[in-house]
């Protein structure tokens, strides 16, 4: 029976309407857990009463580690974790270090491959061998996405991946012989996505891949990531023509200026189903203008990425906005230095559709353009905004932006030195209570008072952001232990960056560990007052910690290494660069012998 349709009856109070995420979160907080043998209180809902659709929606917000714990709660939740919605959060990575262990495990336990839950397989640094072939025989039947990183094993793929939908090839700079490169995309009936845009993949491989796409008429591509150079421009155009009727996602890296303008115009006229378009690389304004003039207005374009300084100017942006005012949901315009506030003002036509906007490092843009367009009034649609390095000289404009975006879940204001002050934070904390990710790197004007509130009867503090999952305060050098002790109290905080916060010491770290026990990623690099006591607090108090960066914390000694080795059970990545008191070879040997599960150690 399909678990999507079981247990659909909701036994809780009928007057609870799940009309938005806030009401669902309130409902989840009110649930009473009980065992199968207990009797539920009829006046309050229970976890077992929730329909599967609502459980799936809630679980989608959980990271991979939490989903593994959810899997063990009960049979019903375990079955829900098998759905495709969660498969893409789990992958298997095979490399030289773990290949032998994996093969032994698969040989000893015949059912292991069936019990494993995964959607993606990554092969790192592997060559053609019987061992790789055996792994593909065991694991290949469940693989939907395959990533080959420094692994030219194409000859082994044809007969072991019946469910393959997407192939990503990266960092294969060596030329393969015809015998080794015998990949036949016709062997994969569900294949629909190919990414060969990496510059470190040899032209030989890319050419064979593209030729394969033109020969296999049964393959209909929905996603294609390629690079354009003059040597293969005609072949790429022909390939796009072959798949234009099915293509929904197209990423292009311009390595040279396209020359066949007329043919390119003919190609883009055909892309009537295109939903995602990403163009990066060298500047080529005339070609780019022709692209958007020829792309059909009827195309359901939702996601557009023109980052990287492609000479996107105000007229071109207005052309794009006028053509797709009701479909565009995401716009990435980072480093488009020709844009001005006049062009950004035209984004006001996207008020009802745009959910994600990145206009960082656009040197001629300020909050004025947003206030005259996209946030001329309250905008409940926009949920993600990146304004790094905005040119505002005062904070008033940024305060107004914060007031008019009540549903933001992601906000990045990195290097907005003059625009972000304690007053700006007060408006963020008062009006943007749904924030899950906040980046304030190098906003040097903010202080403890900004995080803790400026007093008054009803101060707005950072603790208003109850659902905060990641927070970055790198380079906010006015912050002290007081901010950590009284402000950072979050049950859900997973990632915290405090690099170059020189006033933070072990005392503040002790309070932080007490208040944020779910941290999985912590950076306190170049915090010069951090010592071994801080490392002891971290090692003892953060059981879920997976990544730790304490580089340039010059007071650390070998004792900190001992704490990490003995107490950090979940740690996978450790950075301790720039600490003169550590003997690098001795430390590396200790980790190799006593902590082999740590995948990356930087000293």
553-590 pLDDT, tens digit per residue, is 999 998 998 898 888 888 888 998 988 877 777 777 77
Q: How confident is the model at residue 325 (pLDDT cuts 50, 70, 90)?
A: very high
116-145 pLDDT, tens digit per residue, is 878 899 999 999 999 999 999 999 999 999
Supply the pTM of this predicted model.
Answer: 0.84
Q: Percent of the chain scored above 70 by pLDDT? A: 88
Q: Are 483 and 515 spatial neighbours (Cβ–Cβ below 8 Å)?
A: no
Q: Average the pLDDT over 168-174 and give the result.
A: 89
Cα distance between residue 373 and residue 489, in whole Å: 36
- Domain(s) labelled CATH 3.80.10.10 in the chain stretch across 302-468, 489-602
417-433 pLDDT, tens digit per residue, is 889 999 999 999 999 99
Q: What is the phi/psi pair of residue 575, to 5°?
A: -120, 120
Among 22-36, 44-58, 111-125, 268-282, top mean pLDDT goes to 268-282
pLDDT surpasses 70 at 112: yes
For residue 593, CA distances in Å to 101, 565, 568, 596 come to 17, 10, 15, 6
- State residue 8's pLDDT score: 30
SS3 letters across 361-414:
CCCCCCHHHHHCCCCCCCCCCCCEEECCCCCCCCCHHHHHHHHCCCCCCEEECC
350-365 pLDDT, tens digit per residue, is 999 999 999 999 989 9
* 164: CB partners within 8 A, 6+ apart: 143, 144, 145, 146, 157, 188, 190, 191
CATH architecture, range 302-468:
Alpha-Beta Horseshoe (3.80)
pLDDT surpasses 90 at 275: yes
Q: Select from 184, 199, 177, 98 the least CA-distant residue to 139.
A: 98
* 557: CB partners within 8 A, 6+ apart: 532, 581, 582
Cα distance between residue 99 and residue 303, in whole Å: 38
pLDDT surpasses 60 at 253: yes
End-to-end CA distance of the chain: 52
Work out the mean pLDDT of the chain and round it to a whole number: 86
Q: How confident is the model at residue 414 (pLDDT cuts 50, 70, 90)?
A: very high
- Name which of 53-67, 169-183, 362-376, 499-513 the model is least confident about: 169-183
CATH architecture, range 489-602:
Alpha-Beta Horseshoe (3.80)
SS3 292: helix
31-55 pLDDT, tens digit per residue, is 444 444 444 455 556 777 788 888 8
Among 111-115, 231-235, 353-357, 540-544, top mean pLDDT goes to 353-357
- Name which of 170-184, 231-245, 484-498 the model is least confident about: 170-184
For residue 399, CA distances in Å to 378, 425, 428, 565 come to 13, 8, 8, 46
Q: Are 584 and 577 spatial neighbours (Cβ–Cβ below 8 Å)?
A: no
SS3 262: helix
């Amino acid at each position: 029976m399909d678990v999507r349709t079981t247990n659909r009856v909701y036994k809780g109070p009928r007057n609870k309407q799940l009309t938005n995420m806030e009401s669902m979160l309130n409902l989840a907080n009110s649930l009473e857990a009980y065992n199968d043998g207990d009797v539920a209180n009829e006046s309050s809902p229970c976890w077992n009463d929730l329909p599967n659709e609502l459980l799936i929606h809630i679980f989608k917000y959980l990271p991979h580690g939490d989903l593994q714990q959810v899997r063990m709660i009960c049979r019903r939740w375990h079955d829900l974790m098998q759905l495709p919605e969660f498969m893409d959060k789990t992958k298997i990575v095979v490399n030289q270090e773990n290949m032998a262990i994996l093969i032994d495990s698969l040989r000893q336990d015949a059912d292991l491959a069936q019990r494993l839950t995964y959607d993606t397989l990554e092969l790192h640094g592997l060559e053609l061998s019987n061992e790789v072939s055996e792994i593909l025989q065991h694991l290949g039947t469940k693989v939907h996405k395959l990533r080959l990183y420094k692994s030219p094993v194409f000859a082994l793929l044809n007969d072991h991946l019946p469910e393959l939908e997407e192939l990503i090839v990266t960092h294969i700079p060596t030329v393969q012989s015809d015998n080794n490169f015998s990949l036949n995309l016709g062997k994969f009936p569900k294949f629909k996505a190919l990414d060969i845009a990496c510059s470190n993949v040899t032209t030989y491989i890319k050419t064979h891949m593209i030729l394969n796409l033109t020969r296999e008429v049964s393959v209909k591509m929905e996603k294609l990531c390629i690079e354009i150079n003059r040597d293969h421009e005609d072949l790429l155009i022909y390939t796009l023509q072959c798949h234009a009727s099915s293509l929904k996602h197209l990423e292009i890296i311009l390595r040279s200026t396209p020359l066949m303008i007329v043919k390119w115009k003919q190609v883009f006229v055909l892309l009537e189903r295109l939903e995602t378009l990403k163009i990066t690389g060298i500047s080529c304004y005339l070609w780019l203008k022709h692209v958007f003039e020829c792309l059909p207005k009827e195309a359901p374009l939702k996601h557009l990425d023109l980052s990287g300084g492609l000479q996107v100017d105000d007229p071109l942006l207005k052309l794009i906005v006028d053509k797709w005012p009701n479909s565009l949901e995401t716009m990435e315009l980072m480093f488009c230095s020709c844009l001005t506030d006049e062009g950004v003002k035209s984004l006001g036509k996207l008020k009802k559709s745009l959910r994600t906007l990145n206009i960082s490092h656009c040197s001629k843009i300020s909050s004025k353009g947003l206030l005259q367009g996209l946030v001329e009034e309250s905008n409940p649609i926009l949920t993600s905004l990146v304004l790094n390095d905005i040119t505002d000289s005062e904070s008033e404009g940024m305060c107004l932006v914060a007031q008019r975006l009540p549903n933001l879940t992601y906000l990045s204001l990195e290097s907005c030195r003059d625009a972000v002050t304690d007053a700006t934070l007060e408006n963020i904390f008062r009006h943007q209570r749904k924030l899950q990710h906040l980046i304030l790197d190098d906003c040097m004007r903010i202080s403890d008072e900004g995080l803790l509130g400026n007093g008054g009867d009803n101060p707005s503090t950072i603790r208003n952001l109850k659902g905060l999952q990641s927070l970055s305060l790198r380079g906010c050098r006015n912050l002290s232990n007081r901010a950590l002790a009284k402000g950072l109290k979050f049950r859900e905080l997973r990632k915290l960056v405090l690099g170059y916060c020189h006033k933070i010491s072990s005392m503040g770290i002790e309070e932080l560990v007490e208040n944020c026990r779910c941290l999985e990623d912590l950076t306190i690099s170049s915090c010069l007052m951090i010592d071994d006591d801080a490392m002891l607090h971290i090692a003892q108090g953060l059981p879920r910690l997976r990544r730790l960066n304490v580089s340039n914390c010059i007071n650390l000694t070998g004792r900190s290494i001992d704490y990490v080795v003995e107490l950090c059970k979940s740690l996978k990545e450790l950075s301790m660069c720039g600490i003169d008191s550590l003997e690098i070879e001795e430390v590396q040997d200790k980790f190799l012998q006593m902590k082999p599960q740590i995948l990356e150690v930087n000293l």
